[in-house]
């Protein structure tokens, strides 16, 4: 069975919770485990947050009051495709893009230490999903593609 | 969504207790950090306890909050504890490597 959905929303931090809950709801009929749902929500949250604060540099959620004039009007697009029990997620923004992708994907690397970004975003996407691909061109935007097979249980617990 | 209030931050015996909201993400992280830091500045805080009792979701923004507070108190010998963390939250703490600096108390 194939099932598809797509949401497009303003790149503001208020929508982070909406995006991850929407994706979780989309897969809910497959009866995913709590752990799988949590993994997916975390990964979506990381990708969407990246688009908002790095892609569009809409920073006001970080304890900063909203200055509507300064809010970038950009949109974040989240597309999901379910093919049998494999969930494909694509998060697209048309923000400023990533100059050095290799560096950006290193754990603990962040361009915004002053915001206390932990630099764990891509590491979390990698850890909690089966597959992660990132394409980005400076000035044009970034696409994050993630895949996860549902119904396989946890590999993190079994590795311990 | 529930909002963090001043009641969620209490200093008891030089220990700052922070009751975290249901969802710790970039949206709520700034408020938590600012309030915690206000207590760190004004009162004599030695250790910090993050209470995850109500928390059902956390992403790397939460790791940033914990790491930032840890940096502020660890140089004075302070410690950071996590209490009431459910299995998902504990996984996040472990995957991020935070479990090495944060003591998870069951």
A46 is catalytic: yes
Closest alpha carbon within chain B to A33:
B88
pLDDT in tens, A92-117: 999 999 999 999 999 889 998 888 88
ipTM of the complex: 0.86
**Does the pLDDT at position A61 exceed 70?**
no
Q: Which 1-20 residues of chain A touch chain B by CB within 8 A?
A: 13-14, 16-17, 20
Q: Specify the pLDDT at position B1.
A: 44
Q: With contact defined as beta carbons under 8 Å apart, do A62 and B26 qualify?
A: yes
Which chain B residues are closer than 8 Å to A124 by Cβ? 59-60, 92, 95-96
Q: CA dist B82 to A5, A39, A72, B17, B69, Å?
A: 37, 20, 36, 10, 13
- Domains located in chain B, CATH noted: 6-105 (3.30.750.24)
Taken in order A92, A49, A136, A95, the sign of the CA dihedral is positive
pLDDT in tens, B29-45: 988 999 999 999 888 89
Between A49-63, B7-21, B23-37, B79-93, the lowest mean confidence (pLDDT) is in: A49-63
Kindly list the domain boundaries of chain A, sorted by start residue. Answer: 2-159
Q: What is the CATH number of domain A2-159?
A: 3.30.565.10
Which chain A residues are closer than 8 Å to B58 by Cβ? 42
Q: Which residue has the higher pLDDT, B100 or A115?
A: B100
A117 is catalytic: yes
User: Which of A15, A42, A104, A111 should we substitute to test contact with B (largest number of B Cβ atoms within 10 Å)?
Assistant: A42
Catalytic residue of the set A16, A20, A50, A58: A50
A15 is catalytic: no
Instruction: Measure the CA–CA gap between A41 and A45, rounded to whole angstroms.
Output: 6
Which chain A residues are closer than 8 Å to B70 by Cβ? none
Catalytic residue of the set A31, A46, A90, A126: A46
Q: Specify the pLDDT at position A67.
A: 62
Chain B nearest C-alpha distance from A119 (Å): 8
Q: Is B60–A120 a contact, with Cβ atoms under 8 angstroms apart?
A: yes
């Amino acid at each position: 069975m194939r099932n598809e959905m797509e949401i497009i929303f303003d790149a503001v931090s208020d929508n982070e919770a909406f995006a991850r809950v929407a994706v979780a709801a989309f897969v809910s009929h497959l009866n995913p485990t709590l752990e799988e749902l949590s993994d997916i929500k975390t990964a979506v949250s990381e990708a969407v947050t990246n688009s908002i604060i790095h892609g569009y540099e809409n920073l006001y959620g970080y304890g900063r009051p909203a200055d509507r004039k300064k809010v970038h009007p950009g949109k974040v697009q989240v597309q999901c495709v379910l093919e049998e029990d494999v969930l494909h997620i694509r998060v697209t923004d048309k923000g400023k893009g990533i100059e050095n992708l290799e560096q950006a994907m290193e754990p603990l690397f962040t361009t915004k230490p002053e915001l206390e970004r932990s630099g764990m975003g891509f590491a979390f996407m990698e850890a909690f999903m089966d597959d992660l691909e990132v394409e980005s061109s400076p000035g044009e935007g970034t696409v994050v593609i993630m895949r996860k097979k549902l119904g396989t249980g946890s590999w993190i617990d079994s590795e311990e | 969504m529930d909002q963090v209030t001043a009641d969620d931050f209490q200093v008891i015996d030089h220990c700052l207790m922070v009751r975290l909201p249901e969802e710790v993400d970039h949206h709520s992280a700034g408020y938590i950090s600012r309030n915690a830091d206000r207590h760190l500045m004004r009162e004599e805080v030695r250790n910090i306890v993050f209470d995850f009792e109500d928390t059902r979701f956390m992403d790397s923004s939460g790791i940033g909050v914990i790491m930032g507070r840890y940096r502020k108190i660890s140089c004075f010998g302070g410690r950071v504890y996590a209490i009431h963390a459910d299995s998902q939250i504990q996984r996040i703490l472990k995957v991020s490597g935070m479990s090495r600096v944060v003591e998870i108390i069951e």
